[in-house]
Amino acid sequence: MKLADNKATLSFSNGSPSIEMPVYSGSIGPDVIDIRKLYGQTGMFTYDPGFLSTASCQSAITFIDGDKGELLYRGYPIEQLANHGDYLDTCYLLLKGDLPDAKQSTDFHKLVNNHTMVNEQMQFFLRGFRRDAHPMAVMTGLVGALSAFYHDSTDITNPEHREISAIRLIAKLPTLVAMSYKYGIGQPFMYPQNSLSYSGNFLRMMFGVPCEDYVVNPVLERALDRIFILHADHEQNASTSTVRLCGSSGTNPFAAVAAGVACLWGPAHGGANEACLKMLDDIQRMGGISKVGEFMEQVKDKNSGVKLMGFGHRVYKNYDPRAKLMQETCNEVLAELGLENDPMFKLAKQVEKIALEDDYFVSRKLYPNVDFYSGIVQRAIGIPVNLFTGVFALARTVGWIAQLNEMIGDPEYKIGRPRQMFTGSPRRNVPGAK
């Protein structure tokens, strides 16, 4: 952090003395006003529910320019990574700060591949769930339970523990997501096959069965790898902030990531791809493309409680760059599977077209986000709707860990402890007490 040329001055209309606060500049993006001494100097807090104007940390991992619609991982544009990289190299980049050279890449792929199996006992833990449990309920439990199985990597203050827990989480999440799927449909679990790519292995664990060979389709393998890259990190979103806050107490990385999984589940965050597909299904049931206009009227009616899922973003006030890439992938996957005339895809395109021309959306700068097309791609691949957020969690795990490790290594790191403006009853007595 470097001091900017100017300072901020806060003055009060009641004659209290004004105070000066330092301003810092990052490498790109808005400057920040350092308010850490505000309470000590004035006895006042700032008030910013939803963190609309508050930077909760400094970070060198991911940068979003919401107005331009730009997303950079460690400085690299997401389009370049999605078109020229693979997911595990992206993981290396997020964790270590630079893209790996050829040897580092081979070693890292090998290292992750060596940790894909989960403790056999996890199966028995999983069997305690109802078969119809939502996979995100199961995933929250399974990820948290990893800390009960891997005691040798739970000390967040030990860099070796952090390193090994990072690799374990990245390697085991696909296995756990696939296990929760297989459990739900009553099929045998598929052990990982380490000669396959990260996404090829996931496809096999999801759709393979022990009695038959499974041949990975390279188009679907590449599409899934791209979904993983696009979801790998997104700076201080709700689940990442949850992981940081949870980890700030010194809890172990598995517990902190389980908190991230729980947060991601919500429909305003990672659950949006599931909610988006459900919405498209509902429009389809109403009558399809001819009913899009009617549906949009409901969305624009504030009393209806209906939102256009997959649209809008706290940070992007332009097209989400991930949505553009996902739309390309959607075209490729549907062509590969002979589903070019998929009615859901056609409907999605019509909804997007109408929304992009409608003043309600234009004036509020509401554009499609990544979830608008990712559900269609996943459904075409054969992933059930209720597992979409699990796939998002799998991909985001690396971002959560990179951010958690960055926080622990930050000399300014403190337990996160927001303040409040209290609006309840002042002190009063229970009847009969003094």
- Residues marked active site are found at 313, 371
Rounded CA-CA distance 253/434 in Å is: 47
- Residues 6 or more apart in contact with residue 50 via CB below 8 angstroms: none
In the list 1, 60, 215, 268, the residue contacting ligand CMC (rule: CB under 6 A) is 268
Residues 197-226 touching ligand CMC, rule: CB under 6 A, are none
* Binding segment (CB under 6 A) for ligand CMC, from list 56-64, 264-272, 281-289, 328-336: 264-272
Work out the angle at residue 389's Cα, subtended by the Cα atoms of residues 139 and 385, and round it to the nearest 5 degrees. 110
> Does residue 370 touch ligand CMC according to CB under 6 A?
yes
Cα dihedral angle (268, 269, 272, 273), rounded to 10 degrees? 180
* Binding segment (CB under 6 A) for ligand CMC, from list 85-93, 278-286, 303-311, 415-423: 303-311
Residues 380-409 touching ligand CMC, rule: CB under 6 A, are none
* Binding segment (CB under 6 A) for ligand CMC, from list 19-27, 109-117, 252-260, 304-312: 304-312
Q: Determine the straight-line distance between the first and last CA of the chain, rounded to whole angstroms.
A: 52
> Does residue 278 touch ligand CMC according to CB under 6 A?
no
Residue closer to ligand CMC (CB basis): 52 or 430: 52
What residue spans of 99-191 are helical by DSSP H? 102-113, 121-126, 135-149, 159-185
Residue closer to ligand CMC (CB basis): 293 or 409: 293
Residue closer to ligand CMC (CB basis): 204 or 234: 234
Q: What are phi and psi of 368, to 5 degrees?
A: -65, 140
Three-state DSSP class for residue 420: coil
Rounded CA-CA distance 37/56 in Å is: 15
Q: Starting at the edge strand that comes first in sequence, how are the strands of the sheet with 62-65 ordered?
A: 62-65, 70-73, 76-77
* Binding segment (CB under 6 A) for ligand CMC, from list 89-97, 219-227, 242-250, 266-274: 266-274
72, β-bridge pairs: 63, 77
Q: How far is the CB of 270 from ligand CMC (least distance, A)?
A: 5
> Does residue 307 touch ligand CMC according to CB under 6 A?
yes
In the list 174, 269, 395, 400, the residue contacting ligand CMC (rule: CB under 6 A) is 269
Helix (H) or strand (E) holding 354: helix 343-357
Q: What separation in angstroms does the CA of 298 have from each of 287, 293, 345, 354?
A: 15, 9, 21, 14
Q: How far is the CB of 117 from ligand CMC (least distance, A)?
A: 30
> Does residue 69 touch ligand CMC according to CB under 6 A?
no
In the list 192, 313, 383, 395, the residue contacting ligand CMC (rule: CB under 6 A) is 313
Q: Could you list the residues that contact ligand CMC (CB under 6 A)?
A: 234, 237, 268-270, 272, 299, 307-314, 364, 366, 369-371
